[in-house]
Amino acid sequence: MKITLNDILGVLPMLDRDKVNWLGEYGCAYTNDMGEHCVVGEIITAFNLAVPEFGEVGNQESIAILYENSADKYGWDFSDGAVQFLQILQSYADDFNEWGECINTAITALQNDYEIEIGEENNA
């Protein structure tokens, strides 16, 4: 089943909007040494999908690169709009802003800068 932007938007209300991505020795990661996830990792695991574990190759890659190289490994099937949103969200969250602020900014950027209408995504 392909996960769309609208599917991801449906998960956002379940997230702790006050959290901030964890900063490790080498920057942000999908999973830290305590098993906690960054905002993108948290969204992906909400669909019962795996993300890179702590110490695993790819744990600190951008979502676009990781998706391109490892989607089959993790069982991911995201629409273009979903990957684009996650990439924008990741870029804001990795600057250690609260998740709620990052989510709002990413939604606005997606609509304004990328001209994607929420609710009318092409599921390609």
User: pLDDT digit string (tens) for 16-32?
Assistant: 999 999 876 667 889 98
Interatomic CA distance for residues 99 and 40, integer angstroms? 10
- Per-residue pLDDT band for 122 (boundaries 50, 70, 90) equals very low
Task: Encode pLDDT of 49-71 as tens digits.
Answer: 999 999 888 888 889 999 898 88
- In this prediction, residue 47 carries a pLDDT of 96
3-class secondary structure, 98: strand
CA distances from 1 to 4, 88, 111 (A): 9, 23, 25
Residue 9, both tokens: 């938007």
Question: What are the residues facing 20 on neighbouring strands?
Answer: 98
Q: Beta-carbon neighbour count of residue 77 at 10 Å?
A: 14
For residues 35 and 117, the answer to whether their CB atoms sit within 8 Å is: no
Interatomic CA distance for residues 17 and 68, integer angstroms? 28
Residue 17, both tokens: 């909007």
pLDDT top residue among 112 and 116: 112
